């Protein structure tokens, strides 16, 4: 799949998840029945166009009230999304991922594909998931720490709401100022580094990455066709080697490597076994 097609899918997904267009002009958040359901990607509940709830925010709220009920509903949604798609959601359905992709298209003197400590920094997002989404909300009832102190998607939503309703700017305090700094840092970094928030800070990406090895949608290398040319690794913006590690937790399933392979040695598979277990033949393969 080429980048243009993926960009169109991302744009369509972002529009579908934020179809409450009037909210961008009135500053009023949609509160209809759709907010009972979690969206698959990082999309703030308070975004003026959001038609559904953010899974991270919903999980925090549920965990912070765990002494009332177990968060089975939200966990069920997340487990379903993860088991079905893994990080394909990051590559195609996440609105904030789409924003970062657009920012990376802005010309800059240098684009950093990787750098020293890059791999180590990618572990930070698991700490963000564990500490700010799970532990702290469970320890402090009704306090969504990630949303309150870190989430750049929420800050962007706040800016959009304030643009539509100027009275909200009077409510800005030091917390919003801090989060605005975080958002500015993510925006500036996104021009130079491909998806820095996804790589280093996103708790939702951390959660979905745990399913890349078992999700229904997988990346499948054909060992018989692969010549080891390394072209798939060279074009990967996430600095993954798809031929050697098709289930890498950092792979966002953008399938750029599939289009780049001159030998057709990579494809997307759905509900299929690996080549090693199936002798290299797959009935359910779909080339993308």
DSSP notation for 111-176: -BS--TTHHHHTTHHHHHIIIIIIIHHHHSTT--HHHHHT-HHHHHHHHHHHHH-GGGGGG--HHH
Calpha distance 270→283 (Å, rounded): 10
pTM as predicted: 0.90
Number of H helices and E strands in the chain, helices first, is 17, 3
- pLDDT in the model for residue 243: 92
Phi first, then psi: what are they for 66, rounded to 5°?
-60, -25
C-alpha span between 262 and 234 (Å, rounded): 13
Span 35-46, average pLDDT: 94
pLDDT for residue 2: 76
162-172 tens-digit pLDDT: 999 888 888 89
- What would the CATH number be for the domain defined by 218-286? 3.30.70
Please give the span between the terminal C-alpha atoms of the chain, in angstroms, as a whole number: 5
pLDDT at 109 over 70: yes
- The string of pLDDT tens digits covering residues 177-189 is 999 999 999 999 9
Angle ∠(162,50,200) on CA atoms, nearest 5: 85
Predicted confidence at residue 274, as pLDDT, reads 46
pLDDT of residue 278: 39
- Indicate if the pLDDT at residue 276 is higher than 80: no
Q: Is the pLDDT of residue 142 over 70?
A: yes
Residue 173 CA to residue 49 CA, distance in Å, equals: 24
- Work out the burial of residue 254: count CB atoms within 10 Å of its CB; fewer than 13 is exposed, 13-18 middle, 19 or more buried: buried
The domains of the chain are located at 3-209, 218-286
Please check whether residue 272 is in contact with residue 278, taking contact to mean a CB–CB distance below 8 angstroms: yes
pLDDT at 1: 67
């Amino acid at each position: 799949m080429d980048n243009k097609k993926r960009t169109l899918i991302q744009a369509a997904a972002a529009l579908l998840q934020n179809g409450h267009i009037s909210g961008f002009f009135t500053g009023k958040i949609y509160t209809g029945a759709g907010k009972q359901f979690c969206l698959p990607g990082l999309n703030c509940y308070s975004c003026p166009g959001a038609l559904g709830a953010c899974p991270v925010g919903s999980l925090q709220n549920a965990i912070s009230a765990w002494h009332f009920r177990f968060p089975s509903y939200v966990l069920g949604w997340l487990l379903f999304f993860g088991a079905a798609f893994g990080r394909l959601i990051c590559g195609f359905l996440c609105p904030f991922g789409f924003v970062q992709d657009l920012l990376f298209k802005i010309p800059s003197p240098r684009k950093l594909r990787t750098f020293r400590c890059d791999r180590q920094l990618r572990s930070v997002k698991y700490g963000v998931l564990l500490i700010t989404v799970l532990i702290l909300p469970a320890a402090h009832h009704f306090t969504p720490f990630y949303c309150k102190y870190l989430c750049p998607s929420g800050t962007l939503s706040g800016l959009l709401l304030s643009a539509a309703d100027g009275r909200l700017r009077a409510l800005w305090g030091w917390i919003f100022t801090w989060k605005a700094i975080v958002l500015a840092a993510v925006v500036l970094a996104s021009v130079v580094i491909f998806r820095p928030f996804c790589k280093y800070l996103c708790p939702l990406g951390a959660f979905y990455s745990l399913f890349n090895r078992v999700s229904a949608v997988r990346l499948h290398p054909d060992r018989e066709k692969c010549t080891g040319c390394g072209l798939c690794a060279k074009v990967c913006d996430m600095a993954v080697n798809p031929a050697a590690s098709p289930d890498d937790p950092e792979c966002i399933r953008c399938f750029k490597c599939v289009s780049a392979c001159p030998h057709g040695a990579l494809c997307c598979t759905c509900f299929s076994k690996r080549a090693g277990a199936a002798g290299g033949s797959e009935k359910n393969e779909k080339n993308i």
